[in-house]
Amino acid sequence: MTRLHLVRHGPTHAKTMVGWSDLPADLSDTAALKRLHDHLPPDALVISSDLSRAIDTASAIQGQRRRLPHHPDLREIHFGQWELREFAEIEAEDPELAFAYWDNPGDVRPPQGESWNEVRDRVDSAINALVSAHTGRNLVIVAHFGVILTQVQRALGLDGQQTFAHRIDNLSVTDIAVNGGAWTVGSINHLP
């Protein structure tokens, strides 16, 4: 059995849509980082997306754990022209598209961005490769809101709308066990 410990990076404090922009994480809450470090299995392998907010969070909780190379397919949703814009501004510009994207996640995409299904395919492929290469191990995967939700959706068999009802806080852990073709969720959005 392979266990995925999906950790959301530290907060950016941005009030905009942050996807592929490389904003830094605020890692000043050293007590929360220590609790997170202590909560995670000591024998786990650590990997992160290639964005600095995930890389730096992974470094802060790594300790003596072995680090795998950063993975670009573990990046957040690519919001295209919505990147670094406030939701209210996006909604005012194209309310139908904004509503469709969040209310019925699937094939709808922001201008020059990714649809939810494209994000899911990208992340599923990356996770499949990690599970295949490290079967039977604990994997700490430091990534993003959207990345974590793709795996919650996968494990629980939810539709996009049900998936987006889940909260994924910064520095939280979502635990998923993979045993052959069976995916089991242990906890979602656990804050150690």
- Separation between Cα atoms, residue 123 and residue 116, nearest integer Å: 11
Active site residue 118: no
Under 8 Å between Cβ of 151 and 185:
no
Identified catalytic residue from 9, 71, 78, 144: 9
Active site residue 9: yes
CA-CA distances (angstroms) from residue 178 to 33, 70, 130?
26, 21, 11
Bridge partners, 71 (sequence order):
49
Identified catalytic residue from 76, 78, 83, 144: 76
| DSSP letters spanning 46-63 | EEEBSSHHHHHHHHHHHT
Catalytic residues: 9, 76
